[in-house]
Amino acid sequence: MSAARQDLYREKYRPQYHFTARQWTVNVLNPDKQEEGWLNDPNGLIFLNGEYHLFAQRWAKCWIHAVSKDLIHWKEVQPAFWDDDRFGTGVQSGSTVYDTQNTSGLAHSTAHPALIAFWSGFDNMSQCISVSLDSGETWTKYDGNPLFLHPERDPKVFWYEPTGSWFMVLSCHGSYEFFSSYDLLHWTPTKCVIPNSYECPDIFRLPIEGDMNNQKWVLVRGDGSYSIGNFDGDSFVEETVQIRSDQGPNFYATMSWGDIPDHPGRRIQIAWMRGGLYPDMPFNQQMSFPCDLSLKQTACGVRMLRTPIPEVKCLHGDPTTLNDQVLTKSETITIPSYEGLLHLKLQLDVANEGAFEIEVFGTSVQFTSHTVACLSAPVALIEPLGKVEMLVDRTSIEVFVNDGEVSLSACFLPRTEEMIIRCLCGSVVIRDASIFPLRSIWIPD
């Protein structure tokens, strides 16, 4: 193993509070797919024994593995498991479960349950598992792989308590197909097929307005589009059309953590910020910042909101604040850039004919009273614009409007060193603003 770079995690374009991969045996720039330093789809997110586990693709070469106690400070450990030549030389995306009741019989006892990772071979047919008996430190591929042959990939497995059984959602040629099992090893197809669904499924329950007695199931596609409905232990029945959970240009392959002790109903989502550019860096691609998901009753029906997890506060420095600032056309306010790491919160009033932008180091995020755009077409809001929250890292911007009613995730390269709020027409009143500097999460080995 080669020595780590002296500037590991301090490189010019390395995000400082978004997860990125490191190199272990090489020190090379611009790594490509399957090479050390690359990452894509998040996989197998699970909370276990006080730690959050994040797995991610190195484009089917291996499952990258990182752990955190707070979802903020991550430590990347050695990859969980690697490809081989049995199933098309790849370990594609999937999910993990903690088999607390030892339904699989793969653990020696229920006192030390098996952590089981489900993944697909690169042949897009072989559905396989890897098993850990030490909470994810070491892994063994199951001797009975493949569990079954079925196109295509990305198995999402979850427990359904009312029937005491497991279910799998599998991406299959533009649809999602459901399978059931009582032991995680033998799977039976159900009659449930969800069309117009592609790659990286995620499925979970969320309470509406925080009411644990009033919950709905949410089915999320690879591009982050979701539908809300009910699952009865046999079929998922959609009650909405597909709705985009994030409408920025760099948001894909979402996955989530759930079943967190002392936090009933909490669901935390992360995504691959696909397509970012990091010239001459020893890493490639990044994850989005973790976001809490919730359901809210709106004028357009029940919708899923995304908001940055409150744990971000542990990175806050002392804020700069603004109150009751009125801007008219062409007037500007320059706000602290904090070396490209900041958390911005605004409460404002925008006249019906008003428009303004926040220029983030040369990239414009534009707002009107009813729309927002960040390197994207304008996105309509359900409610008039009242709150804006923004996370800025060295190469990413994440925008959250009206407490998560709309979110946009975008990658960028800085072209200037300034942060500017500029009124484009009409008027805007900044009732309250807090701009927090953020500390880096990286503590190199």
Residue 391's nearest CA partner among 360, 422, 424 is: 360
Q: Which DSSP letter does residue 4 get?
A: P
Q: Both tokens of residue 433? A: 């603003």
Give the Cα separation of 202 and 253 in Å (integer): 9
Q: Both tokens of residue 134? A: 């030490």
CB 260 within 8 A of CB 48: no
State the catalytic residue, choosing from 32, 41, 232, 445: 41
Encode 80-119 in three state secondary structure: CCECCCCCCCCEEEEEEEEECCCCCCCCCCCCCCEEEEEE
41 is catalytic: yes
Backbone angles phi, psi at 338, to 5 degrees: 50, 40
Q: Both tokens of residue 160? A: 């359904």
Give the Cα separation of 240 and 379 in Å (integer): 19
CB 189 within 8 A of CB 177: yes
| Region of 373 on the Ramachandran plot (φ > 0 left; ψ -120 to 50 alpha; else beta) | beta
| Region of 199 on the Ramachandran plot (φ > 0 left; ψ -120 to 50 alpha; else beta) | left
- Residues with Cβ within 8 Å of residue 106, at least 6 apart in sequence: 99, 114, 116, 131, 133, 142, 184
Give the Cα separation of 291 and 311 in Å (integer): 10
Residues assigned a catalytic role: 41
